[in-house]
Amino acid sequence: MSTHTFLKVRGLARRFAGAAKPVFGNVSFTIERGEFVCVIGHSGCGKTTILNILAGLDSATLGEVTMDGREVAGPSLDRGVVFQGHALMPWLSVRGNIAFGVRSRWPDWDRAKIDAHCQKYIDLVHLTGNEAKKPSQLSGGMKQRVGIARAFAIQPKMLLLDEPFGALDALTRGAIQDELVKICAETHQTVFMITHDVDEAILLADKIMLMTNGPEARIAEVVVNTLPRERSRHDIHHHPHYYRIRNHLVDFLVHRSKLLQEGRGDDAANEDPPRLVTPGLSEGAAAEPSREPQLKQVK
Ligand SMILES: Nc1ncnc2c1ncn2[C@@H]1O[C@H](COP(=O)(O)OP(=O)(O)OP(=O)(O)O)[C@@H](O)[C@H]1O
């Protein structure tokens, strides 16, 4: 097992040309190998910009990113990205879209090996039988699954997901979330994922980073998800920590993110690197009034 921290982000800031202030400043965090980390924050705080910098698609104004001991200085097949809007190549079939990256990753593989490898990931996301279809013949959920299969198929060291299920209906979203939980359990994939959905974050993440509002956004704290790893969408809310974590996240989004940006929040949220918080275990959280009973009735 490796002893070094897998992803290190130190003092990251990004100011776009013409803007008076940076979108975010002094963003530092780490991700261990095999960890699933979600980032939550209001629109415009810079989540996608951070993801683009991790992907090597954008450059920071200040700060540095290292992955597996190497500086991230440009795009690499070591990082698989799933974008919000699938970004498939419309002229290629499902198999063709997935094979494109596989061929670049393993240029010496023959056709049969590439096809077999692609098929494994097509089956994994339950698209068997749709191999020859073009993106225009697929539903939104199917396209998103192609995007996920394409990212997984190159077996990246890290997966970067930008609200991958944001545009999907609730049923499809749940089904793909379940698949992602299974795939990550099988592959121990390291993941950085942006989401606006607190329930999705609690279902999937080991840690949830909370960002203050922009400009000059920062990571106020990192919430440790204390729910046991074997999680199911159907009964996760029965765990005693579930509503404590959920209430903590919602409270941050509704109240604290704005107060912190205005300099009226708690000083602990200025720590660098950001402090770890365990709402399921801390005394403060245990004393919080729970909104659980009201929600229990709708079980
Ligand atoms: N290329 C660019 N040039 C100028 N400004 C940009 C550029 N890309 C992003 N921005 C600005 O940076 C800010 C952060 O954008 P970003 O997309 O990273 O936020 P976000 O937190 O991911 O938002 P959302 O949740 O809505 O996707 C926004 O104000 C946006 O207008």
Q: Does residue 2 lie within any of the structural domains? A: no
What number is the average pLDDT over the span 153-161?
A: 92
User: What does the alpha-carbon distance between residue 8 and residue 6 come to, in Å, rounded to a whole number?
Assistant: 7
* Domain count for the chain: 2
Mutate to test the pocket of ligand 1, among 12, 16, 43, 213 (most ligand atoms within 8 A of CB): 16
Residues 146 and 233 occupy one common structural domain: no
Residues 208 and 63 occupy one common structural domain: yes
Mutate to test the pocket of ligand 1, among 49, 193, 216, 253 (most ligand atoms within 8 A of CB): 49
Q: What pLDDT does 138 receive?
A: 94
- In the reported structure, the alpha carbon of residue 49 is separated from the centroid of ligand 1 by a whole-number distance in angstroms of 6
Q: What is the atom index within ligand 1 of the atom nearest the CA of 18?
A: 4
Task: Please report which residue ranges of the chain form alpha helices under DSSP H.
Answer: 47-55, 94-105, 111-124, 140-153, 170-187, 198-204, 242-251, 257-261, 283-287, 292-296
Cis peptide, bond prior to residue 293, ω within 30 of zero: no
Q: Does residue 165 lie within any of the structural domains? A: yes
Q: Does residue 1 lie within any of the structural domains? A: no
**pLDDT class of 214 with cuts at 50, 70, 90:** confident
Domain end, chosen from 155, 177, 207, is at: 155
Residues with CB under 6 A from ligand 1: 16, 23, 41, 43-49, 214
Q: Does residue 119 lie within any of the structural domains? A: yes
The residue range of the domain holding 126 is 88-155
Residues 171 and 233 occupy one common structural domain: yes
User: What does the alpha-carbon distance between residue 298 and residue 136 come to, in Å, rounded to a whole number?
Assistant: 39
Q: Is the pLDDT of residue 1 over 70?
A: no
Enter the DSSP assignment of 211: E
**pLDDT class of 125 with cuts at 50, 70, 90:** confident
Residues 169 and 224 occupy one common structural domain: yes
Residues 64 and 202 occupy one common structural domain: yes
pTM summary value:
0.88
Q: Average pLDDT, whole number, for the chain? A: 87
Q: Is the pLDDT of residue 86 over 80?
A: no
Domain end, chosen from 139, 155, 171, is at: 155
Q: What pLDDT does 3 receive?
A: 59
Nearest CA, atom 4, ligand 1: 16
Residues 59 and 197 occupy one common structural domain: yes
Residues 64 and 108 occupy one common structural domain: no
Q: Does residue 151 lie within any of the structural domains? A: yes
- In the reported structure, the alpha carbon of residue 62 is separated from the centroid of ligand 1 by a whole-number distance in angstroms of 17
Residues 108 and 27 occupy one common structural domain: no
User: What does the alpha-carbon distance between residue 290 and residue 224 come to, in Å, rounded to a whole number?
Assistant: 19
Residues 165 and 205 occupy one common structural domain: yes
Domain end, chosen from 155, 187, 213, is at: 155
Q: What pLDDT does 295 receive?
A: 38
Nearest CA, atom 17, ligand 1: 48
Residues 145 and 173 occupy one common structural domain: no
Write the pLDDT tens digit of every residue in 266-289. Answer: 766 677 778 888 886 654 444 343
What number is the average pLDDT over the span 175-179?
A: 80
What number is the average pLDDT over the span 179-200?
A: 88
Residues 114 and 244 occupy one common structural domain: no
Question: The domain spanning residue 290 has which CATH number?
Answer: 3.40.50.300
Write the pLDDT tens digit of every residue in 28-70. Answer: 999 999 999 999 999 999 999 999 999 999 999 999 999 999 9
ipTM exceeding cut-off 0.95 for this assembly:
yes
**pLDDT class of 230 with cuts at 50, 70, 90:** confident
